Structures are given as structure tokens and as C-alpha cells.
Amino acid sequence: MNIKQLEVLRTLLATGSTIAAAKTMGLSQSGVSRMLQQLEQDLSITLFARDKGRLIATPEALALGHDAENILLAVDRMSSHAEDLRSGASGPEIVRIGLPSSMWENFAPAMLVDYIRAFPGVRIETFFESTTAINKLVGERVIDIGFLRMEGETGPGIVVDKVASGTSVCVVPKDHPLAELETISAKDLRNVPLVLIGRQRPNRMALDQQFARAGVKQMVKIETHTNSSACAYVAQGLGVSIISSFYANLYRHLPVVQRPFVPQARQDFGLARAAGFPLSIAAQALSDALQRQIQLSQKIE
């Protein structure tokens, strides 16, 4: 598979014939025909039916044509990006911080109130993203410092300092029968509607295995991808969820309670920055403010 072949697929879908596609692409008709055949061979799938000497797009062609479009758009973006980098642009000094989406309502505002008191002139940019995205954006120097879950591997050229930890807890509505238990295990969740996050992520797979070992089939009602939405769904009675106590502590204001989910898994959280690039004074101070806010948010009342 190569980029020219994907352009052929896109153009064939748009024009309907090899002759028209050839004209559009500045190639010979036979060249287009060969490239189509080569792409079909590479993908081991028939993209166009040959019906009485004419090409008819198969449903597979339509489906994969979209994938091809995505690839070609990504290629265009890369080319544009390269051009932007060549021409260069710069702005005033700011500090850019990446945080999980769970932190926008209370944690981040409180942290910034604290920070801005001491650094009134600094301009802040906040990104609420997933751990994976923050990892990437720190590596790309789009973000100066980023709070993320430590899940083993970070990108190349990134340093992560551990700043917090948590353990797995089950979050249930305040008035739920399960709220009366001291601890909750997979066995307690038989036939209980679940709201789960992190599908296909390592911690989620470990959780799935805990259920499997307990011989309990998960009754997943809602999959989502943020701790915040999981807590909100629990508060609304849509099910119970299993997340880290670190995040659960950020949602004490919701009508939910948390119980240790046994056996408990541990989660570590860190602050990521690019290796080899010392933080500016402003950025280091924001890092300090973040850690003060972590202390406050995890304090047991």
C-alpha cells in the first residue's frame, strides 16, 4: 500500500472510471488500472466489481475509501505542518499545562487561583486531555507540564516525577445497598449495572481479569472514557463504577460514596515534562501549585 494508490482509490470513487481518474491525476489509464489492482492485492479485498467492462464500487470500497481519505488528509496536514515549521512563528511567554478532564471544575480553578496570586503576569493555557494525549503533547513540546497516570511507558525524551497515588475504589450512589459494605469485591457486583472506563487500556484489562477470576460476568451498561463522566453517571443512578481513589476524591461533592474495591490495585500519577529542557521559573511554580492542590484534594476529612 502506498500513498499514490490511496489517491487512486479516492479519485476512482470520485470519478467512477480509470480514464477519468487518470486525467485527474495526470497518469495513464493503464497506470491507474494497475495501481488499483495492486491496492486490491495489498489489502486482499475486491474494491471494485468489474461489471461489463466497467468498475462498480463495492461497499468495501466505500468503507475503505474513507480510511484512505483520512490517511491522505493526515498526509496533507503533515505537509502543511512542515511548511509552518519552515516559516516559523512565536508569541509571548506562557505556561501550558495538561490536566485530566476530571480536574476542570474544582481542582484546576483552585490551583490557578493559588498560582496567579503569586504570578499575576503569567499567561496560562490549560489542556484537558487523556494520559495518552498528554504524553504525546509533552513530547511534542505543545505542553510544558502535564499530569498523567503512570502506566509504565512514557514517550521518548519525557521525564515523569511521581506526585500522587491512589487505590481502586468502587463508587456507588449514597443510598445504594452496596454503600453499606466496608469493602466491595467483584463477587458483590454480580448482576449490578456497571459504568466502566478505559476500555482496552492496561488497568481496565486487569480489572476485567479480576471479574473473570471471580467468575462474575460484567454487566456493563455504559462505557465511557473519563472519570468525571463515570462519577456523574453513578450519581444519576446509571450504575456503579470502579476508578482510582485519587479521582473519586475530586468528586466528593456528588451524592456518591466510595468503598475499597478488593483486591485493591494501586495507581501512581506523575507530572511529565520534556527531558533535557529545564522548566522556566513560571512553569516550576505552576508545578508547585499543582502539588499543593493535590495535597488539599487528597486530604481526608
Site for DNA in 51-90 (CB under 7 A): 52-55
Q: Would you count residue 285 as binding a copy of itself (CB under 8 A)? A: no
Q: Nearest distance from residue 64's CB to DNA, in Å? A: 17
The CB-side HSE value for 217 (13 A sphere, CA atoms) comes to 3
CB nearer to DNA: pick between 24 and 218: 24
Residue 11 in the binding site for DNA (CB under 7 A): no
Q: Which of 6, 9, 35, 189 binds DNA (CB under 7 A)?
A: 35
- Could you tell which of DNA, a copy of itself, none binds residue 205, using a CB distance below 5 to 8 A set by kind? none
Q: How far apart are the first and last CA of the chain?
A: 59
Residue 17 to residue 107: CA distance in whole angstroms: 58
Shortest CB 43 distance to DNA, Å:
14
Give me the least distance between CB of 299 and DNA, in Å please: 47
Cβ distance to a copy of itself smaller for residue 13 or 32: 13
Residue 170: contacted member of a copy of itself, DNA, none (CB under 5 to 8 Å, by partner type): none
Binding a copy of itself by CB under 8 A: which of 37, 49, 66, 190?
A: 66
- For 216, half-sphere exposure in the C-beta direction (CA atoms, 13 angstrom radius) is 19
Of 116 and 181, CB closest to a copy of itself: 116
Q: Where are the alpha helices (DSSP H) in the chain?
A: 3-15, 18-25, 29-43, 59-87, 107-118, 131-139, 202-213, 227-235, 245-248, 281-298
Per-residue cell: 99: 490536566
Coil, helix or strand for 297? helix
Burial of residue 60 (number of CB atoms within 10 Å: 0-12, 13-18, 19+):
middle
User: How far, in Å, are 131, 139, 156, 272, 276 from residue 159 at the CA level?
Assistant: 14, 10, 9, 6, 9
Using CB under 8 A, which residues numbered 85 to 144 contact a copy of itself? Answer: 85-86, 94, 101, 104-106, 108-110, 112-113, 116, 123-128, 136, 139-141
Nearest one of 148, 184, 166, 187 to 250, comparing CA atoms: 166
- Binding-site string for a copy of itself from residue 218 to residue 257, where x marks contact by CB under 8 A and - marks none: --xxxxxxx-xx--xx-xxxx-------------------
For DNA, which is the closer residue by CB, 30 or 236? 30
Tell me which residue has cell 479480576: 210
Closest by alpha carbon to 285, among 125, 141, 116, 158? 116
19: contact with DNA by CB under 7 A: yes
Which range in 18-26, 98-106, 169-177, 292-300 contacts DNA by CB under 7 A? 18-26
> In sequence order, what are the residues at sequence separation of 6 or more whose Cβ sits closer than 8 angstroms to the Cβ of residue 256?
171, 172, 173, 174, 231, 234, 235
Instruction: Output 27 or 262, the one with its CB closest to DNA.
Output: 27
> CA 49: distance to chain centroid?
38
The CB-of-43 to a copy of itself minimum distance in angstroms stands at: 4
Residue 269's binding partner, choosing from DNA, a copy of itself, none, with beta-carbon cut-off 5 to 8 A by kind? none
Residue 214 binding: pick among DNA, a copy of itself, none (C-beta 5-8 Å cut-off by kind): none
Give me the least distance between CB of 15 and a copy of itself, in Å please. Answer: 9
18 closest CA partner among 36, 3, 2:
36
- Interface residues with DNA (CB under 7 A)? 2, 4, 16-20, 22, 26-31, 33-38, 50, 52-55
